[in-house]
Amino acid sequence: MPNTDNWQGDVLRDLRGAAAPTGRGGTGPAPGSNTPASGPGLSPPPPPDAARAVAPPEHPGGQDREQPAASPSTPAGRPPRAAPDSRPVTDDGLAGAVRTPRHGEPFASRAVRGLRRIVSSSAAREVAEITRTAERLQQPVTTGRQIAVTSIRGGAGKSTVAALLGTTYAHYRQDPVLLVEADPALGSLPLRLGAQSLRWTTGDMAGIVEPQMSLLDVTGYLVQLPGKAWLLPGSQGRIGAMLDTRAYERVMVSLRRYFGVTVVDCETLPAEVARVALSASQARVLTAPATLEGITSTHNVLEWIQALPRHVIEGTVVVLTEQTPRPGIDLDKAARKLASTGASVQVLPFDRHLAAGGAIRTELLAHATRQAVTRLAADVFELSQKRR
């Protein structure tokens, strides 16, 4: 993708494993090891064959090798920082209780849709629509776009929507994509993304990231996901993890130049970090359950946002998430009511695969879900492009 200052070209070359300049001192951990590297050259990141954490090397037995706490490179005058232990996202006992993931829609529905595509011209129209949406998603950027996802209450599908947006951008775009969990209170984003283990967190990164670091230095502290996507978790699944606004701002300002799109899974409103994330991002997504309670509370939040500068409400998309196959509310009327505030409104239809929880497998999403998510990602990205 062409760019006036070749910002994305530099990032892509860095991501593909260009060696650091000769004579450079020790840098951050090498991608794929999650432990600090030293010396002038860094190895390229491991191939994105599965959603996994950037974990320490394994010994021949296949079990993680015990390693001493390592310290990332730090500027002169700053004490070295001990590396936290790697922790699994899901307890082994709980992982064994997970059933085989279901497809998002019944087999009969898939069969009928396939038959219709054969006997009608809908396939050509669908391909044309996908092509147009892909062009919207692949627009070049001169600086990284930050998209904040939040909600007014738990269970609104906030982390699910953030995961879906991040994986969609990583699929369509050529530059690297970052997903940040700014919800340290036992957030579920790593689980939804299929991460296996976690080490460095958003709070840790605030004391590590430095302007002179390359993308390879930075990604050594992140969890690698399929494609060009990376995850910075908010906690290691421990109760009591904290993230203040100063740490959040430092991380986001520092990492913005490395990634074309950053999707932030925020705390629920009115938490302070969530308010900062909303104001600092170029586009905002507010998720709400498709229930009377969810619509009412979300409308109240939108009225509060209306008192902020006009670009905030204009750059906000409300996503109504269907919790059941037949919601007990007229979604068209609800959408019109919410849209009267100046925000955009979209619906994420009920999907059996998403409703079951656990890691999201995009190949199991219902056809209607994939269409809705791709359209949402394109609309939100275009909104982010309007705000510099």
pLDDT value, residue 327: 85
**Exposure of 91 in the CB half-sphere (CA atoms within 13 A):** 5
Nearest to 235 by CA among 315, 178, 174, 181: 181
Q: State which amino acid sits at residue 333.
A: K
Mode of pairing for the β-strands spanning 87-88 and 197-198: antiparallel
SS3 181: strand
Q: CA 145 to CA 282: how far, in whole Å?
A: 6
Element (H, E) at 14: helix 7-15
Counts for the chain of helices (H) and strands (E), in that order: 15, 10
Q: CA 385 to CA 374: how far, in whole Å?
A: 17
Which DSSP category does 374 fall into? Answer: H
Element (H, E) at 146: strand 145-151
Per-residue pLDDT in tens (0 to 9) along the chain, 388 residues: 434 344 445 544 554 554 344 333 333 443 433 433 333 233 333 333 333 333 333 333 333 333 334 444 444 445 556 677 666 666 555 555 666 777 777 767 666 666 666 656 666 777 788 889 899 999 998 889 999 999 988 889 999 999 999 999 999 999 999 999 987 766 789 989 998 888 888 888 888 988 889 999 999 999 999 878 999 988 766 665 677 888 889 999 889 889 999 999 988 887 888 888 888 899 999 999 999 999 999 999 999 889 888 989 999 999 999 989 888 889 999 999 999 999 999 999 999 999 988 899 999 999 999 999 999 999 999 999 987 6
pLDDT value, residue 160: 96
Q: CA 133 to CA 373: how far, in whole Å?
A: 11
Prediction pTM value: 0.74
Q: Are the CB atoms for 259 and 175 separated by under 8 Å? A: yes
Q: State which amino acid sits at residue 15.
A: L
pLDDT value, residue 125: 75
pLDDT value, residue 192: 92
pLDDT value, residue 267: 84
